[in-house]
């Protein structure tokens, strides 16, 4: 009986310690600095875009495609199952307004856009908002996966676009093109 009481006491002390430390761990996690994601070694080809942006891509996998808009830089993945588009705006805005405007535009393409994922990311020294948005168009689920950045200098939206079922097989390649975005006109975060 004494062993049981000792074990129960140890368990209760461990549980109490965990409960007392949990708020401190949550606070530490909130203050945790974002990891800086940088372009991959295979992203060797730079494409200068509007607003001082540069996208680095792997030229064996991504092909630049002429866009009919001056504020847009477009690429096509080698299999044709994905594309990437950088859209730059000159108006001052914030990330939430930029996301709302994106959802409004995507709502005109298909069904009501659904935000599947959102998180802050630091890419090449600049804090951005990473999102995945689903739109149903002609019974196909189209997935927009990318980053947005809005501030007093303007806005940047870099999105990869593919069928939702293709995200799994192409996730790494789509992430690499997103991580190839450099915004030299924006001050890097500390």
Per DSSP, 187 falls in state P
Q: Is residue 178 part of a domain?
A: yes
Q: Is residue 163 part of a domain?
A: yes
Q: Is residue 156 part of a domain?
A: yes
26: domain range? 1-32
Band of the pLDDT at 8, cuts 50, 70, 90? very low
CA triple 42-48-53, angle to 5 deg: 95
**In a shared domain, residues 68 and 147:** yes
Q: Is residue 15 part of a domain?
A: yes
Total number of domains constituting the chain = 2
**In a shared domain, residues 13 and 42:** no
**In a shared domain, residues 56 and 9:** no
**In a shared domain, residues 48 and 107:** yes
Q: Is residue 134 part of a domain?
A: yes
Q: What is the mean pLDDT of the chain?
A: 85
**In a shared domain, residues 105 and 16:** no
Q: What is the pLDDT of residues 16-37, one digit of tens each?
A: 444 444 444 444 444 568 999 9
Q: What is the pLDDT of residues 96-106, one digit of tens each?
A: 999 999 999 99
Per-residue pLDDT, 185: 56
Over residues 123-142, mean pLDDT? 94
Q: Is residue 190 part of a domain?
A: no
Q: What is the pLDDT of residues 147-175, one digit of tens each?
A: 999 988 889 999 999 999 999 999 999 99
**For the domain that residue 82 is a member of, what is the CATH number?**
3.40.1000.10
Distance CA 63, CA 43 (A): 12
More confident residue, 35 or 9: 35
* Among 125, 93, 109, residue whose Cα is nearest residue 161: 109
Residue 39 scores a pLDDT above 60: yes
Per-residue pLDDT, 24: 43
């Amino acid at each position: 009986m004494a062993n049981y009481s000792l074990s129960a006491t140890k368990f209760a002390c461990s549980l109490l310690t965990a409960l007392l430390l949990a708020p401190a761990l949550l606070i530490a996690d909130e203050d945790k600095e974002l990891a800086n994601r940088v372009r991959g070694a295979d992203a060797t080809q730079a494409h200068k875009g509007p607003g001082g942006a540069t996208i680095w891509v792997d030229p064996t996998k991504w092909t630049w495609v002429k866009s009919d808009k001056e504020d847009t830089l477009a690429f096509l993945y080698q299999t044709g199952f994905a594309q990437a588009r950088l859209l730059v705006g000159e108006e001052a805005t914030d990330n939430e307004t930029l996301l709302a405007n994106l959802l409004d535009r995507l709502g005109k393409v298909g069904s009501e856009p659904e935000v599947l994922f959102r998180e802050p990311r630091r890419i090449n020294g600049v804090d951005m908002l990473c999102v995945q948005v689903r739109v149903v168009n002609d019974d196909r689920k189209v997935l927009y996966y990318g980053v947005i950045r809005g501030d007093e200098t303007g806005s940047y939206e870099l999105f990869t676009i593919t069928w939702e079922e293709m995200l799994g097989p192409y996730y790494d390649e789509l992430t690499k093109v997103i991580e190839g975005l450099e915004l030299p006109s924006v001050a890097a975060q500390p």
